[in-house]
Amino acid sequence: MAYPATRMRRLRQTPVLRDMVQENTLSMDDLIYPIFIEEEVDAPAPISSLPGIMRHPEKDIAKVVKEAEELGIRAIILFGVSHHKDTSGSDSFKKDGLLARMIEKSKDAAPDMCIIADNCFCEYTDHGHCGIPSDDGVDNDRTLENLVKQSLVCVEAGADMLAPSGMMDGTIAAMREGLEEHNYGNMPIMAYASKMASSFYGPFRAAAGCELKGDRKQYQMNPANGREAIREALLDEAEGADILMVKPGMPYLDVLRDLRDYTQLPLAAYQVSGEYAMIKFAAEAGALDEEKVMMESLLAFKRAGASLILSYFAPQVAKLLREK
């Protein structure tokens, strides 16, 4: 039925009517906050390319995690800034390495917080790649062996969820097998399933002190490929992933939306460092209303089908929702 029988403006007339028919909402249950922790330093260091985000010294981790919890943040993902890098990223699979310590200390500080491990090597390798280097980029299967070791270390340190982000083939299958063998069959895995070789990660690499030369095109996906992104994600589901992530977020909302129709698993979107920086710097320049654009950008992920959003805006959203 067309106009005048249908008038779309009828349900837009008052705030209560608009709220009653709102299809999607954002709550703190949806957000995962990425936190950067640096070892062997004394003071927090602001990250110039990510306004408002710090590298926190390891000694402050309990304080940082508790503050997040008090704001209403329910899940965090931890990124280490390592001073012990080597060719395989071995610090990340040592029981007393930075990754294990970050998990232990956050779990101690906030037992109810969902502590997510970013399972990768690039923050711990001296070449910056996401695994053991080889003639053709990264050695897939040897990297998986280390990834299984790293996963077990994270579980034993108290992680509530593992999130492998290295884009090696067979990642989820290898982790699932390793976890089952050690009776950790109940450990949830959120797969960075469709992760693009994206230039939107620029500020993150500065934040994490990643010294990558070259690029990751031999393992991360070509940003031009939407159908391949679905294949990647469905492979991770078949291998035993519990949550599928699309990354970056806003430039790949089409992938998220398409994937929503192919799987019944919960989906996550990563609003990456470059997306956050774009909004922050545009707001600083007076071009955008920061809070409104922040909320609109996050709601867009919900509308496209995400249950979870990783975002550097999490503390700001928490404060905003609390005021309401």
Active-site hit among 63, 105, 107, 195: 195
3-class DSSP state of 133: strand
> What is the separation, in whole angstroms, between the first and last Cα of the chain?
38
201-227 b/e with 16+ CB inside 10 Å = b? bebbbebbbbeeeeebeebbbebeeee
**One-letter amino acid for residue 260 of the chain:** R
Q: How far is the CB of 226 from ligand PBG (least distance, A)?
A: 19
Output phi, psi for 47, to 5 deg: -105, 115
- Using Cβ positions, the residue closest to ligand PBG within the complex turns out to be 204
Binding mask 147-166 for ligand PBG (x = CB under 6 A): ------------------x-
Which residue stretch of 58-66, 88-96, 114-122, 233-241 sits at the interface with ligand PBG (rule: CB under 6 A)? 114-122
280 is catalytic: no
Which listed residue (30, 118, 139, 160) binds ligand PBG by CB under 6 A? 118
Q: How far is the CB of 130 from ligand PBG (least distance, A)?
A: 5
Please state, as a whole number, how many other Cβ atoms lie within 10 Å of the Cβ of residue 55: 21
Cα-trace Rg, the chain:
20
Task: Label residue 13 exposed, middle or buried (CB < 10 Å: 0-12, 13-18, 19+).
Answer: exposed
Nearer of residues 75 and 120 to ligand PBG, judged by Cβ: 120
Which token pair is 307? 């249950």
Binding mask 71-90 for ligand PBG (x = CB under 6 A): --------------------
Which listed residue (99, 102, 122, 161) binds ligand PBG by CB under 6 A? 122
Which listed residue (68, 113, 120, 193) binds ligand PBG by CB under 6 A? 120
Nearer of residues 160 and 270 to ligand PBG, judged by Cβ: 270
Which listed residue (172, 179, 267, 272) binds ligand PBG by CB under 6 A? 272
- How far is Cα 34 from Cα 53, in angstroms, rounded to an integer? 10
Binding mask 128-147 for ligand PBG (x = CB under 6 A): --x-----------------
Nearer of residues 6 and 195 to ligand PBG, judged by Cβ: 195
Residues 6 or more apart whose Cβ sits within 8 Å of residue 97: 84, 90, 91, 124, 153
Nearer of residues 70 and 211 to ligand PBG, judged by Cβ: 211
Residue pair 310/32 in contact (Cβ under 8 Å)? The answer is yes
Is residue 273 within the footprint of ligand PBG (CB under 6 A)?
yes
- How far is Cα 180 from Cα 168, in angstroms, rounded to an integer? 20
247 is catalytic: yes
Footprint on this chain of ligand PBG (rule: CB under 6 A): 118, 120, 122, 130, 165, 201, 204-205, 272-273
Residues annotated as part of the active site: 195, 247
